[in-house]
Structure 1
Amino acid sequence: MTATTDRPGCDTSDLLHIHALFRRAFGDAPGLVRGVPDGDVARMRVVAAHVREVATGLHHHHEGEDLLLWDRLEQRSPACALHVGLMRAQHADVAGLLRDLDAALPAWEAGAAAGARDEVARVLDELQALLVLHLGQEEDRILPTASSVLSQREWDQLHEHGMASVPRSRMLLQLGWILDAVPEPERAGWLRTNLPAPARLLWRTVGRRRFAAHRAQVYGVR
């Protein structure tokens, strides 16, 4: 097993599910923010907390790639250096927008004012547009090289880094958001492939119901 996981060549398909999560989350976020009525503090708090959580998740995801992916790709596949440079630059641009979002959210949270709400939505619009470009280019230009030059053990370190940043109390909700971005006919197969039996049982008995309630709250579904 060790020899296999340390040999160059890995399955990078799990990243497509994480990207789908971010496409869905940041695609919906500007509309969720703009849909909060002026002065509706209760609704604002729900949406602002959701935006902050997905933004934090994106930050940690990119942090993992910055720490564990780019240098290895440049060292093992010099021909990929141009693509890696593009990814680094796009990460820097995303980080700048995440800082803008961090600066805009407190003003909105202070009173749910329309102007502050619109500034949060404006930053999210820019972030969503950049992510559409970045995630697609990463899938096209980085994943083929990563799958051939990285070992499975090295690739799995990205997942481990990301999961280490998720509070234990939010694990089932994080799983729910990933599944929410997986096409429904594929979800059962995804669960069998990615979760051991005890975790699947926990999802069916506790997680699925908890996530459904959380999702309904975020999207304002009664």
Structure 2
Amino acid sequence: MADQQAWWDNPACVYLIGVCIKYKIDPYIETSVPRFRSADNLECVRRLQLIRRTDNHSRSRTRPTNPPQQDGTQRLIIMSYQQSSSKVKAGPLWTKNKEDLQKQLGELKTELGQLRIQKINSSGAKLNRIHDLRKSIARVLTVINLKQRAQLRLFYKNKKYSPLDLRPKQTRAIRRRLSPADAAKTLEKTKKRSTHFPQRKYAVKA
């Protein structure tokens, strides 16, 4: 009993236990740290290893089981929500005409307005649906805009002038560059000079 009290009163042993518990290490002092080779310290190591074994055993007994798997109904609900009508794909929109696109756009905007009114008392699913509706409206507007610009490009294809937003962007210097026809034009004086005084060609007679 006196040895045990002396062991607990030893500050080195108490410090060693605190360090080992803090950093979660196994103190194999017999082989790794020679300066701690003493009866009290070896007893401290054995006591610490016993405490860790008991702790690991209790953790293994209280380990939680595998989480329950989702049944078919929950999976069906999740899949149906992911494939809800609020999400619009851009692919099928290209086959629709302008009237159908405008009608679908009006329906989406009406539904979005109703959801915004109910947003105060709504849950997270409603907020996600608002996000999907906003993205769907953007897709419909994008398709409408691109179709309209394609028709305008066909209309202005053979015209002398076209709207600035339909012209190629390029760069500022390229847009101000002369066209090939304008760059090839020459003055009448230059034409006469090149005709009457052409560039001379010389050859070496062998």
**TM-score for both structures, normalised by structure 2:** 0.27
Larger relative contact order (CA 8 Å, sep ≥ 6): 1
**TM-score for both structures, normalised by structure 1:** 0.25
Bigger helix share:
1
